[in-house]
Amino acid sequence: MLERPYLFIDGQWLAAQSGEHFDVFDPSDASLLARVAAAGRADVDLAVRAARRAFDAGDWPRLGGHQRAAVLRRIADGIRARQDELALLEVRDNGKPLPEAQWDIADAAGCFDFYAELAADLDDDERTVPLGDARFRASVVREPVGVAAAVIPWNYPLLMAAWKVAPALAAGCAMVLKPSELTPLSALELAGIANDAGLPPGVLNVLPGLGSEAGTALVKHPGVDKIAFTGSLPTGSRIMQAAAREVKNISLELGGKSPFIVFADSDIEAAVEWIMFGIFWNQGQVCSATSRVLVERALYPDLLQRLSEEAQKIRIGNGLEDGVLLGPLVSAGQHAKVSAAIAQGIADGARLVCGGKPPAGLEQGWFMQPTVFADVPLDCALWREEIFGPVVCVNPSTARPTPCAWPTTVSSAWPPPSCPPTSNAANGSPAGCRSASSGSTVRNRPSANCPGAA
């Protein structure tokens, strides 16, 4: 068992003031993986005050962009130097297959490199605003917003931390990061890497703890200027209400229910490959997972058959084993949630094509078979609500879909050969991200604000 008895506050490893801890489990066998210090309200206050001092009186926000960029690049190098160790930790903490974890760690390092470039660009970012009157001069200068609070989920532990930490540091903010209590280990390692890279004390503080206590105290703290949250819609709504009381700057990424549109004259094998990637990568625990597929009726039977065949070939098991493509769900609670969604879908009249239950021989962990549903009623929860598991719903379309007729939260489309990928077949759909001929996203693509969409 790993012992992580400290929080990272003001450049120091400190015990939680309450002395309390929480347990972290390996989802592959439900064994105890780590015992971690649990931040409470007093620890949150200490961390926010440290970040406030670092921002108000410290050097970090006053450094040039090139100087901040140099630190971010050293953080990226520190992540790469420990890539194998961090990937192994991610597998044991989260359950994902090792190749996916290795990709995540490399992407986290790349994220710091990407924002290092943007930080360097800030040195030359002053923009003159034409006023039409030579007696006056106006310009726009970008400045850091202040102290940022980031609350991240468990599906991409280190990568989500990078997505929040790197842009905040690049801008010159100080911040407090609260990782999920299910997967806090790699965020603590990031704190050490950033410290070794020369990040000044107080600029990054990492507080593992329960969302109901540490998370709530953090987003309500008066010393926080900016809140960045990724997680569920209900929690995001509560955070928005709390932020509204003090009119705080806020960014929310609250998941989605992303259809994948397949036209009748599409390449069926390529479409199946991308659907598989989109829904079974990371056990379907992805906010942009292609969890519902809308297929022109002429292609529907063949695509459904090929998708079912390929889904049943997926090897399930411990993410450290060679050849495993689907690991366990992250927790007993998530396993119960996905199981309940499957049962409710069957009760609502959806046709179970394959999967739908834990695989034999892996009962100790929180595993679920790749699951394919067909002919799903459009008003049932299975089609309309995010499941966050390896469950995909496939329905036929009686007519060639047009953007206005597609359901909300469209994120991807597989257009026919006559429609090149660059033509954006999904244009006009109410979605924050749209892809043509793929189902993936990349770190440097912005997402539009689209309430209720992926």
Q: Which residues are catalytic?
A: 253
Q: Which among 53, 234, 241, 65 is positioned nearest to 147, based on CA atoms?
A: 53
Record the tokens describing residue 392, joined without a space: 């995909």
Residue 133: burial class (beta carbons within 10 Å; 0-12, 13-18, 19+): exposed
Cβ of 313: how many Cβ atoms within 10 Å? 9
- Taking the C-alpha atoms of residue 387 and residue 407, their distance in angstroms, rounded to an integer, is 17
Cβ atoms of 278 and 260 within 8 Å: the answer is yes
Q: Can you give the three-state secondary structure of 368-401, one letter per residue?
A: CCCEEEECCCCCCHHHHCCCCCCEEEEEEECCCC
Pairing of β 412-414 and β 435-436: parallel
H helix count then E strand count, the chain: 12, 19
Q: Look-up: residue for tokens 């468990």?
A: 154
Cβ atoms of 9 and 46 within 8 Å: the answer is yes
Residue 416: burial class (beta carbons within 10 Å; 0-12, 13-18, 19+): middle
Q: Which among 261, 228, 305 is positioned nearest to 407, based on CA atoms?
A: 261
**All residues at 6 or more sequence positions from 231 whose CB lies less than 8 Å from its CB, including other chains:** 151, 152, 153, 254, 255
* Cβ burial 20-30 (10 Å sphere, 16+ → b, else e): ebbebbbbbeb
Cβ atoms of 44 and 218 within 8 Å: the answer is yes
Q: What is the CA radius of gyration of the chain?
A: 23
Record the tokens describing residue 322, joined without a space: 């060679």
H/E segment holding residue 425: none
* Encoded amino acid at 207, one letter: L
Q: Which among 210, 170, 212, 162 is positioned nearest to 187, based on CA atoms?
A: 162
Cβ atoms of 207 and 7 within 8 Å: the answer is yes
